[in-house]
């Protein structure tokens, strides 16, 4: 199981944003198209983000989307993963 017990909110939000794009982050690591180190950087970026409340509100309403909100600092990285899966 891939997770981040030291940053559970950031991990949940990162995973949620990826899922909206149709990306399963643990599967991406297991499949080898994302390294554990790259995933750690994405989660760290989320952890440092100051838009956590906006993110939670957006995720509460989101189902599936081809893009993420502009306030997400991981927008490009996650959308790139979506395109390359």
Sorted by where each begins, the domain ranges of the chain are 8-84
Please tell me the pTM assigned to this model.
0.90
Tens of pLDDT along 11-63?
Answer: 999 999 999 999 999 999 999 989 999 999 999 999 999 999 999 999 999 98
CA angle 73, 2, 43 (to 5 degrees): 15
The answer to whether residues 51 and 71 touch, using CB atoms and an 8 Å cutoff, is yes
Sign of the Cα pseudo-torsion (77, 80, 81, 82, in order): positive
Dihedral (Cα; 25, 28, 34, 36), 10-degree rounding:
60
Note the pLDDT of residue 83. 83
């Amino acid at each position: 199981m891939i997770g981040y017990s030291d940053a559970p909110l950031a991990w949940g939000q990162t995973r949620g944003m990826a899922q909206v794009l149709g990306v399963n982050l643990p599967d991406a690591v297991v499949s080898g198209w994302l390294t554990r180190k790259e995933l750690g950087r994405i989660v760290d970026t989320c952890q440092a983000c100051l838009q956590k409340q906006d993110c939670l509100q957006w995720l509460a309403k989101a189902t599936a989307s081809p893009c993420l909100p502009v306030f997400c600092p991981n927008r490009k990285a996650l959308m790139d993963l979506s395109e390359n899966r």
